[in-house]
Amino acid sequence: MKRFDDRVALVTGATGNLGQSICEKFVSEGVSVTAADLRQDKSEAFAASLRAAGGRAIGCSLDVTSTESVCAAVAKTLETFGKIDILINNAGVWMHPDGVQKCLSETPEEFWHEIIEINLCGAFRVTQAVLPAMFEHHYGRIVNLGSIAGEVGLPGFSDYAASKAGVIMLTKTLAMELAPKNITVNCVSPGMISPVPGETQPTEGNWVGRSGERGEIADAVMFFASDTAGYITGVDLPVDGGRILGPRNNHFHC
């Protein structure tokens, strides 16, 4: 069985490090891709690089805080490819607008709203917009990007942690709602990921002893997005080197 059979994917946050890796892996397996991100010029330049590598791809601007922008991106995808089989809700932010982590007692309300609006409400808007197309074909794969912060919290980033916890619960609830429509909904929750493509850094913060590489996150996303994962739905998969298993004990060795 092929992992992907004439599939079309819409990827949000496509020009970020993880978004690029996801799109590149999709086109390498014959999936047609809409690479959507805030800036049209960056999205189209990235899509052009995917086409130059032999893939089918278009770029489009997408602001997940705007219903009008979301609907326009979905319409452009349908006009170009005729359907949407796969949605990757990857667009998101974690740092506060001023670049400083803050205790909840010091977090301005507008910062809280911005993080929730992008990470959680954005996933809601894009998912709602693509569902009619998935209903029409009685098929869909939705993969949301969570975070281990949404599972165990992250001091200084209560807004980010809350938004990602919401994404995880949105995943589970949608999985139950959409299963009768042959649409699966799963979530990948990364731990610490190296900012350098193809490289990792040593760390004592998890059991594996290194940071993750963005391709490892993309591989997990690809699995959930594939035809071969049709019996899996409602799963939140931590890809974190064992970070949330518990404190690493550096004094005990088997």
Active site residue ranges: 160
**Are 158 and 104 within 8 A, CB to CB?**
yes
Q: HEC string of 12-25?
A: ECCCCHHHHHHHHH
Residue 89 CA to residue 78 CA, distance in Å, equals 17
Q: Where are the beta strands (DSSP E) in 52-191?
A: 57-61, 86-89, 140-145, 183-190
**What does each C-alpha distance from 192 to 4, 126, 138, 147, 203 come to in angstroms?**
29, 26, 36, 9, 9
Count of CB atoms situated within 10 Å of the CB of 151: 18
Q: What are phi and psi of 22, to 5 degrees?
A: -65, -50
Sign of the Cα pseudo-torsion (12, 63, 235, 233, in order): negative
Sign of the Cα pseudo-torsion (234, 134, 220, 38, in order): negative
Exposed, middle or buried, 20 (CB in 10 Å: 0-12/13-18/19+)? buried
